[in-house]
Amino acid sequence: MNTILKKVALAAALATASLSAHAAEVDIAVWADVDPTLSLMKADGTPLDDSVKLSHDAATGLLTPWSVPVRIHSNDTDLDIEVRLGFDPTLQLDTGGGTPIPLAVSLQGQALSTTPRTYDASAIFDGALPGRSIPMELRIAQGNSTEIADAGKYKGIVRVVMLQAP
């Protein structure tokens, strides 16, 4: 009987302790942009960064280019890939005003624009990594050679659009 009382007392103590304990909750928003046919990833298979910083060189007055090796991942490596920009990218001053800075985007040394550029499947999918292209350089740079005169934080979006060619 004494053992039963000890167990009941222990259970009551644990219940009381758990009711008075403080709890913390953490909510984590998770999202995924899914296209089952194509994706553009870093060459090592990790996702592309959501943002990149172009540094300003005060000696030249220009932005320094940014680049990263990427691979196109495809569910059908027999199809050519059309790549284009969603719009002409520019950087704008956060506060408004100033002169927009045009951006130049290239993939594998070929300039991208809003007109589709076709990458031949047999040239980019060599079979070394199934479903993945050869490594290609994605580069973002200032699109002109005009020195930037207005100080401030500039922001913009580069949208790369890929489609499997029919």
Over the stretch 26-62, which tens digit does the pLDDT of each residue have?
888 888 888 899 999 999 999 999 999 999 999 999 9
The whole-angstrom separation of Cα 65 and Cα 104 is 9
Measured between alpha carbons, how far is residue 5 from residues 12, 15, 45, 68, 111 in Å? 10, 15, 60, 68, 80
The whole-angstrom separation of Cα 163 and Cα 82 is 5
Ordered by where they begin, the domains of the chain are 38-164 (2.60.40.2040)
Each residue's pLDDT tens digit in the chain (166 positions)?
A: 566 666 666 666 665 555 555 778 888 888 888 889 999 999 999 999 999 999 999 999 999 999 999 999 999 999 999 999 999 999 999 998 889 999 999 999 999 999 999 999 999 999 999 999 999 999 999 999 999 999 999 999 999 999 999 8
Q: Token pair for residue 110?
A: 């070929």
Amino acid 23: pLDDT: 78
DSSP sequence for 24-92 = ------------SSEEEEETTSPBPPS---PPEETTTTEEPPEEEEEEEEES-TTS-EEEEESS--EEE
Amino acid 57: pLDDT: 96
For 152, which DSSP code?
S
Amino acid 162: pLDDT: 97
**Cross-strand bridge partners of residue 30:** none
**Residue 65 near residue 54, CB atoms below 8 Å:** yes
